[in-house]
Amino acid sequence: MAISPAGDPFENPRAINGRAPDVFTEGGWVPMRHYRDEEEVDFAIVGTGAGGGTLAARLAEKGFSVVALDAGPYFRPMEDFASDETAQNQLYWMDPRIVAGDTPLTMGGKNSGKAVGGSTVHFAMVSLRFRPEWFKSRSLMGYGADWPIDWREMWQYYAEAERALSISGPVSYPWGPKRPRYPYRSHPINAAGMILAKGAEAQGYEWTPTPLATVSAPRGKSHPCVYRGWCRFGCSTNAKQSALVVWIPRAITAGAEIRDLAMVGKVEVNGAGKATGVHYHREGRWRFQRARNVVVAGYAVETPRLLLMSATDRFPDGLANSSGLVGKNFMTQPNQAVFGDVEEEIRWNKAPPSTTITEHWNYCDRKDFFGGYCWMGQGPLPIEWATVQVGARGVWGEQLWRDMQNYNHQVGVKLVGECMPDEKNRVTLVTDEKDQYGLPITRITFSLGENDKALIAHGLDQMQQSMQLAGVRNLFRQDNDYNHLGGTARMGDDPRTSVVNADCRSWDLPNLGVCDGSGFPTVGGGNPHLTIHAIALRTADRIEALAKRGEL
């Protein structure tokens, strides 16, 4: 990575000495509270994405003292983000991990993030609510595990998250219980999105402009989206309402301290079985931040990794792991696609990748497998598209070179589907290989289950039918792609079958929490960030309520 005038974000921390980068101003800074390591803060939060970033802001706004640490750099999007797929690998978690199982996953890309703001810095901004029944999928639908939270409560927090992120969406949403109108008008539909609409209408399915976390009108210092289409490689204009742009500035304004390039390697626990702070690596050395409460928000791989790495004599299997479930029930979301070409010029690289969506099969139960899926418009950039060509079609040579030139005529739809929790799918520590911090790396074992395969087959058939009806030619399937993660520190009502309770507090160490996608008992058939946001907003309210009662 070439160095910008702003300096190398990976070389030295930027949020230091009482100031942090102002992401809205080139070279600008904002004042930031600084806590000494010895000061016992109310909360040390590990990770600053949809879970940790949101929680840091809300807890600080409620008057708690907060230090939020992130292993990744503090980017200045306008100065650091190139329109370049390769260079923007800088947004991902690229440290070594081992993948295994019958369906070894591709990591280090869209399903990972290592930056202040976490994966929201590169997410596709698709902002969906769960179907209400999913919160009680075991009781109501016969699969997975129940969430310990009622959907009506979640509906309130979804609304709060949608307001906080100024979600741009349709006037009325076709599926599920009534929801408020989206705060911002929906974005124009690009040519690729129109093809989805045409196919869905031909099938008799509803579709809608995708609710997106990028603004369609000015908001604060964010200009409206300019439809550059590089969203998944970082938004260099700050239209995207990432945690880096929304929650981190709020957290700092409210008095929280954000520490970038701060890799937490261990949660310390005292003899009384309470978390006392975090050991973290920053500026070349290990340090210890004291804290009255610790919340881990590192997503479905790093969260269980940290809990497992923090094992003590008293907790030999890792922290919060009396259930034995830390790292287990690892889930991803199937992300299969059907692609083809049309006579017209589509130029699908323009605008957010998904401007339209159908959640038909999330809400229709006339199918012979559990769970659901949605599908949405696509706009892969050249390297991604080449990866699809070689991965899904196995083409190379002259044919690959020639077929790639059809880029501006390609179109397709991609599903985001529900994967069943299975204890055999898990994150474990690799003892004989260490990362650059000297910490054991992870092994991610994943195999599709029979239900997952049935869902994928159904989804591919449905998408193929849809594309055929829309007049798309030369169809082919991408059957080997997966994305969002979850499940490795699941929440529940029973300490024997869950890691944390509804308030994201661990059953074993009440002052240790988990607040991110790893708490999901089930992942549903849609992009998870809005649910992570809603959980974090709820958790902040619950912490405030518990503190007022002296129960924190």
Query: Which residue, 140 or 383, is less far from another protein as judged by CB?
Result: 383
Q: Which two tokens stand for residue 368?
A: 């012979």
Q: Which of residues 102-141 bind another protein (CB under 8 A)?
A: 104-109, 112
CA distance 161 to 51: 12
Query: Which residue, 41 or 225, is less far from another protein as judged by CB?
Result: 225
Burial label, 532 (beta-carbon count in 10 A; 0-12, 13-18, 19+): buried
Single out the residue of 17, 83, 156, 474 in contact with another protein (rule: CB under 8 A): 83
* CB of residue 401 to another protein, shortest distance in Å: 6
Between the alpha carbon of residue 200 and those of residues 206, 208, 346, 375, the distances in Å are 6, 10, 18, 10
Q: In sequence order, which ranges of 43-112 are alpha helices (DSSP H)?
A: 52-61, 77-80
Q: In sequence order, which ranges of 165-210 are alpha helices (DSSP H)?
A: 191-203
Greatest Cα pair distance, the chain, in angstroms, is: 70
Per DSSP, the three-state class of 465 is: helix
Single out the residue of 35, 43, 64, 81 in contact with another protein (rule: CB under 8 A): 81
* CB of residue 60 to another protein, shortest distance in Å: 31
Single out the residue of 98, 202, 429, 547 in contact with another protein (rule: CB under 8 A): 98
Question: Of 66-74, 318-326, 391-399, 517-525, which part binds another protein (CB under 8 A)?
Answer: 391-399
In the shown chain, the binding pattern of residues 407 to 426 toward another protein, with x for contact by CB under 8 A and - for none, equals: xx------------------
Query: Which residue, 109 or 273, is less far from another protein as judged by CB?
Result: 109
Q: Which of residues 187-246 bind another protein (CB under 8 A)?
A: 188-191, 194, 225-230, 236-237
Q: Which two tokens stand for residue 412?
A: 């397709």
Do 208 and 84 touch, CB atoms closer than 8 A?
Answer: no
Question: Of 32-40, 207-215, 386-394, 491-499, which part binds another protein (CB under 8 A)?
Answer: 386-394
Per DSSP, the three-state class of 397 is: coil
* CB of residue 102 to another protein, shortest distance in Å: 12
* CB of residue 356 to another protein, shortest distance in Å: 12
Binding status of residue 322 toward another protein by CB under 8 A: no
* CB of residue 391 to another protein, shortest distance in Å: 7
Binding status of residue 390 toward another protein by CB under 8 A: yes
Question: Of 13-21, 346-354, 487-495, 544-552, which part binds another protein (CB under 8 A)?
Answer: 346-354
Between the alpha carbon of residue 118 and those of residues 70, 234, 401, the distances in Å are 8, 11, 35
In the shown chain, the binding pattern of residues 40 to 79 toward another protein, with x for contact by CB under 8 A and - for none, equals: --------------------------------------xx
CA distance 52 to 45: 6
Query: Which residue, 225 or 309, is less far from another protein as judged by CB?
Result: 225
Do 216 and 187 touch, CB atoms closer than 8 A?
Answer: yes
Query: Which residue, 355 or 501, is less far from another protein as judged by CB?
Result: 355
Q: Which of residues 10-39 bind another protein (CB under 8 A)?
A: none
CA distance 322 to 506: 10
Binding status of residue 339 toward another protein by CB under 8 A: no
* CB of residue 447 to another protein, shortest distance in Å: 13
* CB of residue 191 to another protein, shortest distance in Å: 4
Residue 24: φ, ψ to 5°:
-95, -5
CA dihedral 84, 86, 90, 91 (to 10 degrees): 70
Binding status of residue 89 toward another protein by CB under 8 A: yes
Do 76 and 238 touch, CB atoms closer than 8 A?
Answer: no
Single out the residue of 142, 271, 316, 394 in contact with another protein (rule: CB under 8 A): 394
Q: Whose CA is closest to 88, among 214, 237, 235, 246?
A: 235
* CB of residue 478 to another protein, shortest distance in Å: 14
CA distance 517 to 522: 10
Question: Of 310-318, 321-329, 400-408, 514-522, which part binds another protein (CB under 8 A)?
Answer: 400-408
Question: Of 3-11, 66-74, 274-282, 505-513, which part binds another protein (CB under 8 A)?
Answer: 3-11
Question: Of 331-339, 376-384, 489-497, 501-509, which part binds another protein (CB under 8 A)?
Answer: 376-384
CA distance 116 to 247: 10
Burial label, 137 (beta-carbon count in 10 A; 0-12, 13-18, 19+): buried
Q: Which of residues 252-291 bind another protein (CB under 8 A)?
A: none
Q: Which of residues 433-462 bind another protein (CB under 8 A)?
A: 443-444
In the shown chain, the binding pattern of residues 461 to 500 toward another protein, with x for contact by CB under 8 A and - for none, equals: ----------------------------------------
Query: Which residue, 397 or 438, is less far from another protein as judged by CB?
Result: 397
Q: How big is the CA angle at 513 (ends 511 and 515), to the nearest 5 degrees?
A: 155
* CB of residue 415 to another protein, shortest distance in Å: 22
Query: Which residue, 101 or 176, is less far from another protein as judged by CB?
Result: 101
Single out the residue of 344, 461, 493, 494 in contact with another protein (rule: CB under 8 A): 344
Beta strands across the sheet bearing 208-209? 208-209, 356-358, 373-377, 410-417, 337-341, 473-478
Question: Of 153-161, 378-386, 532-540, 542-550, which part binds another protein (CB under 8 A)?
Answer: 378-386
Is the four-CA dihedral 473, 477, 483, 486 of positive or negative sign?
Answer: positive
Q: How many residues touch another protein (CB under 8 A)?
A: 74
Q: Which two tokens stand for residue 198?
A: 């045409």
CA dihedral 6, 44, 316, 323 (to 10 degrees): -110
